Structure formats: C-alpha cells, structure tokens
Homo-oligomer: A and B are copies of this chain.
Amino acid sequence: MSVDLSRLSLNQKTLNGWTLPQAVEGCVRAGIPWIALWRDKVEETGLEESARIVHDAGIKVSSLCRGGMFPSPTPEGRAANIEDNKRAIDEAATLGTDVLVMVCGGLSGVRAIDDARGMVRDGIEAILPYAEQRGVKLGIEPLHPAFAADRSVISLLGEANDLAEHFRSPQVGVVIDIYHVWWDPNVYTEIARASQYTLGFHVNDWLVPNTDPLMSRGMMGDGVVQNRRLREAVDTAGYTGPIEVEIFNQDIWRKDGDDVLLTMKERFVQEVM
C-alpha cells in the first residue's frame, strides 16, 4: 500500500511522555514530516536548541501551542497575558512556524462570560501588530463547550469565525479540531465559511463514554467522530495544510511512543485520508 503522509503532523501532546528531541527523533524514524510543538516542551529543551533540533532533523513545524488565555479580572492580569502572548509569538517565529494556536482562555474569575469574550477580542487586537511584525498568524481554536469555564470562552467555530472576520487581517484565522466541533449542527456551514482563513486542522476522536472532557480523546477510529467526512469538508473549503493528530489520553501516554506513531499513521490513512 502506498500511503501519502505528506500532511500528517504529530502534535506533541499525543506523546506527552516524550521530550521535544525524542518526539522529533520519533517523527524522523516514522517518516512523519510535520510536528506541532507545545511551549512547555520547548522551554524544557530550550528555545534555540529546540529550533536547531527540528531544523536539523528536516521536520517542519505545523504550529506552536499555545497563545491566548486573555481574560483576567484585573487590567494588570490582562496586560501580563498580552506580554506572554508576545513571547509566544517570538517563540513561534524562532521555531519556524507561522501559526500560533490561540486557546483563548476561560473565565479566570470574570463573572460574565460575555465580558471574558470581550477581553479575548481586546487581547487579540493588542497583539496583532506584533504578530504581523513577526510574520506569525494567530489561529483561534474554538474549544468544546465543556471547557468554556476554564480554558476557552470561545466555544463555537461560528464564534471563532466571527472573531477572525472582525479583524479582517491575513494574520488572524481559525484552527479546527474535530474533538471540539464535531457535535455542532452548524459545523459544516462554518467550515465552509472559514475557507479563506483556516490555519490548521486537528484530528482525533470523541470516546464514549466520555468521563473526563480533557482526557477522553481517542485515536481516530476509536470513537464516534466522522473524521473523514470532516476532513473532506475542510479540504473542500480549500485547506491544503498539515493535519495534526492531537490526543490527550492517559492510556496512549502510557504506551510505547513508536507503537503509537505506527497506529497513528495507520489510522490517519484508514480514518482520515
């Protein structure tokens, strides 16, 4: 079987037990051309060293996760969050990716969710000139409504699209993760609408039962999501970029990393492409 893995990207979170150098080496061994990096892992290895490792390995960086986390009840808190986002933009530029994934932030003590949403909009506006200057795009990732309180007050792809269109900048777009949006009755309409500014696409699966929204993601094919149908919709809309496999799952984290990559490649072909 000849398989095309040219769009496959390992999101580092799928192999959370591996350091950045281990994950890069794993991708090289497995013939996976892309990797998505997380800031905590980059910090552990060092920014410049991380950049050197991925560059020397010939692996491309599909995105850096994550910017965002804007809301705070105090102006000082919001200013600190904006500074942190500027650092994330610098890190993305250094690592050679033009996509910073934005997990916009939860309530963080803000009482009204619409106020928190306003802080997200203001936060993106505040960092946008710097993102433009550094050539980094901001990919707003709507998160499943189960995370509205503590991770992202931007839940619907429609909301992320509204935000992106509010800024009307080539520097702002959306990142679509099937785990967060598969259930949405408007998902196909909103995927089509995001045609001009989809900056990333993540696949995995929604396991049943889902006893913990954070950790009940599964490998494509192990849950109820129609991965291929969603991938076709994203492709039809015109997205041709990398497809990240991002899975938070303790059982997968316990497995041998090379075995996980093997399964990941198989499922990518069987369930996604």
- A interface residues (Cβ-Cβ under 8 A, vs B): 106-107, 111-114, 117, 144-146, 148-150, 153, 155-156, 159, 182-185, 206, 208-213, 223-224, 226, 229
Determine if B155 and A112 form an interchain contact, defined as CB atoms under 8 angstroms apart.
no
Copies of this subunit: 2
Determine if B212 and A185 form an interchain contact, defined as CB atoms under 8 angstroms apart.
no
- Sample 8 A-B pairs with CB under 8 A, ordered by A number: A107-B208, A111-B226, A117-B185, A144-B146, A149-B223, A153-B183, A159-B185, A213-B213
Give chain B residues whose Cβ lies under 8 Å from the Cβ of A212. 211-212
A211 nearest CB across to chain B (Å): 6
Give chain B residues whose Cβ lies under 8 Å from the Cβ of A210. 146, 149-150, 213
Partner of A224 from the list B149, B156, B211 (CB cut-off 8 Å) is B149
Determine if B213 and A183 form an interchain contact, defined as CB atoms under 8 angstroms apart.
no
A255 nearest CB across to chain B (Å): 23
Give chain B residues whose Cβ lies under 8 Å from the Cβ of A106. 208
A110 nearest CB across to chain B (Å): 9
A269 nearest CB across to chain B (Å): 19
Partner of A107 from the list B111, B114, B150, B224 (CB cut-off 8 Å) is B224
Determine if B149 and A146 form an interchain contact, defined as CB atoms under 8 angstroms apart.
no
Partner of A155 from the list B107, B150, B185 (CB cut-off 8 Å) is B185
CA distance A209 to B147 in the complex (A): 9
Give chain B residues whose Cβ lies under 8 Å from the Cβ of A148. 182-183
Most buried by B among A144, A185, A208: A185
Given contacts A107-B208, A149-B183, A155-B184, 12 further A-B contacts (CB under 8 A): A113-B226, A114-B185, A145-B183, A146-B146, A146-B213, A149-B206, A150-B208, A150-B209, A156-B184, A156-B185, A211-B212, A213-B213
